[in-house]
Amino acid sequence: MTQSADPKTGPAAIVLAAGLSKRMGRPKMVLPWGQTTVIGQVVDSLLSAGVSPIRVVTGGAREEIEQALQGRPVELLFTPDYAKGEMQVSLQLGLNSLPREIEAALVVLGDQPRMRVDTVHQVLAAAADHPGKLVVPSYQMRRGHPWLVPARFWDEILALRLPQTLRDFMRRNAEEIAYVNVDTDSILQDLDTPEDYERAIRELGG
């Protein structure tokens, strides 16, 4: 049974894709991935899971990402503060862009093309079972993405100021987290280096 999203109430998705790709040495979000790109695969998985609306926050490689996502039903947001490299800056921009009737948002990494549709379904199902809770997928006691943040926490995230980070937010709200045990380490697998990408492509069969 699949979990679909009501476009009026969400949950929405905020895809964090504003990094500089320094360690990769080239814009990682638009690297080839099967018949699409890294960021294209992430968005396609969210669409397959029935998630709407989708916000994609860009920074570095803004034009390339916009071109890669052309034709997909997403809203693209640009953060001029992308060089700071702090995830919460992008998340704050994404949260501020959502209609107030949205009840929750999935926090998604743009460089996790191995994110599985069934993992998204598991997180959404757990959110229905634990209303009002932060929902975080866990593989062998390690938490990953995508995780879900209900609207009641948004003001706290929007109030974060450097050097505070999302880790501080999660630590303060540790008792509010509902963990979802998943059977895949894809929730941990992002692409930071050329070696990461080459290994992932080999596993993909490319």
Compute the CA torsion angle 28, 54, 91, 58 (nearest 10 deg).
Answer: 40
Q: Quick one: pLDDT at residue 206?
A: 52
From CA 98, how far away is CA 135, in angstroms rounded?
Answer: 19
Q: Quick one: pLDDT at residue 137?
A: 98
> Of 135, 127, 136, 118, which is closest to residue 183 (Cα–Cα)?
118
For the cut 50, the answer to whether the pLDDT of residue 104 exceeds it is yes
For the cut 80, the answer to whether the pLDDT of residue 66 exceeds it is yes
Q: How confident is the model at residue 82 (pLDDT cuts 50, 70, 90)?
A: confident
Q: How confident is the model at residue 201 (pLDDT cuts 50, 70, 90)?
A: very high
Q: Quick one: pLDDT at residue 60?
A: 87
Q: How confident is the model at residue 8 (pLDDT cuts 50, 70, 90)?
A: very low
pTM of the predicted model, to two decimals? Answer: 0.93
Q: Quick one: pLDDT at residue 84?
A: 75
> Of 60, 31, 50, 159, which is closest to residue 106 (Cα–Cα)?
50
Helix (H/G/I), strand (E/B), else coil: 95 = helix
What percentage of the chain has pLDDT greater than the value 90?
86
Mean pLDDT of the chain, nearest integer: 93
From CA 62, how far away is CA 81, in angstroms rounded?
Answer: 13
Instruction: Determine the average pLDDT of the residues in 116-122.
Output: 98
Structural domains in the chain, sorted by start: 12-201 (3.90.550.10)
Query: Any idea which of 17-21, 119-123, 144-148 has the lowest mean pLDDT?
Result: 17-21
> Of 117, 134, 143, which is closest to residue 51 (Cα–Cα)?
117
